[in-house]
């Protein structure tokens, strides 16, 4: 009962109309990019267009949204000086943290799923088997990214910057390294492995290069499931323990 109250209250906070309008606009832009890419690219099939665009856009939007919403789980309350009111509620800290993190993950999933649907309609004209696989992968990815970034937000200052550096710095760098084993240290590799997408026939464009970099790296879907479930369990458990153990006060330098 307590957990469901925290979850629903946080969900209303994270899914405010002003926030959702921004992501709806992003989805419209993604759809426009998809339509334009199909018309002007030399990609031999619409399926390849979907595979490349979803890798370059939908899975990156997943990481971006997770960095933004995970920072709102606790850090936003600290910087907004509302952490005191949050902690005075008669709710166990572990339940408070878990409920808010799960609400953030749900919104992250919704945002990334809408972008994937936009890509599918732009390139394939509707729903497809590939999209269904991506929606499953994005769901587990939303939990994994949100769990990791929530833990980061509890440990370091400027957590959103650190999360963005992980998602767009480290993961991109690791994907481009000649040693494939480095990819195993990224979440994106395992999320893409769960999607189990076919390899596109390829081309020479920018998105073709990005799509090949953001692949599964030879990881099997079963291994990817185990890794991501482990990441979710460890990061959320560590976040709850950390949040319950340490005190949080409003930051006076957050103006």
Domain membership flag for residue 253: no
**How many domains would you assign to the chain?**
1
Domain membership flag for residue 128: yes
Distance CA 123, CA 120 (A): 5
Q: Which residues of 135-159 are buried (b: 16+ CB within 10 A; e: fewer)?
A: bebbbbbbbbbbbbbbbbbbeeeeb
Predicted pLDDT of residue 146: 97
Domain membership flag for residue 157: yes
Predicted pLDDT of residue 235: 97
Domain membership flag for residue 197: yes
Domain containing 176 equals 2-245
Which residues, other chains included, contact 40 with Cβ-Cβ below 8 Å and sequence gap of 6+? none
Domain membership flag for residue 251: no
Predicted pLDDT of residue 93: 80
Domain membership flag for residue 17: yes
Angle between helices 221-245 and 187-195 (to 10 degrees): 140
Domain membership flag for residue 77: yes
Q: Label residue 169 exposed, middle or buried (CB < 10 Å: 0-12, 13-18, 19+).
A: exposed
Domain membership flag for residue 254: no
Mean pLDDT in runs of 10 for the chain (255 residues)?
A: 73 84 93 90 76 90 95 72 61 84 96 96 91 96 97 88 92 74 86 85 53 62 94 96 73 46
Distance CA 103, CA 63 (A): 16
């Amino acid at each position: 009962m307590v957990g469901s109250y925290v979850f629903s209250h946080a969900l209303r906070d994270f899914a405010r109309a002003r926030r959702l309008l921004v992501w709806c606009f992003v989805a419209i832009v993604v759809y426009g990019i998809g339509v334009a890419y199909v018309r002007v690219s030399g990609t031999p099939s619409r399926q390849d267009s979907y595979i490349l665009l979803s890798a370059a856009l939908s899975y990156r939007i997943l990481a971006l949204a997770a960095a933004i919403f995970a920072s709102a789980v606790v850090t936003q309350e600290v910087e907004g000086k509302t952490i005191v009111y949050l902690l005075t509620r008669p709710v166990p800290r572990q339940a408070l943290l878990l409920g808010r993190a799960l609400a953030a993950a749900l919104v992250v999933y919704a945002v990334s799923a809408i972008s994937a649907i936009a890509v599918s309609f732009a390139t394939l004209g509707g729903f497809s088997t590939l999209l269904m696989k991506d929606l499953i992968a994005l769901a587990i990815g939303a939990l994994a990214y949100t769990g990791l970034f929530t833990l980061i937000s509890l440990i370091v200052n400027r957590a959103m910057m650190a999360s963005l550096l992980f998602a767009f710095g480290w993961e991109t760098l690791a994907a481009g390294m000649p040693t494939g084993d480095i990819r195993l240290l990224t979440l994106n590799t395992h999320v893409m492995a769960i999607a189990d997408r076919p390899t596109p026939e390829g081309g020479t464009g920018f998105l073709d290069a990005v799509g090949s970099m953001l692949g599964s790296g030879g990881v099997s879907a079963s291994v990817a499931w185990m890794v991501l479930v482990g990441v979710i369990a460890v990061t959320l458990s560590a976040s709850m323990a950390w949040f319950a153990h340490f005190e949080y006060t409003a930051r006076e330098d957050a103006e």
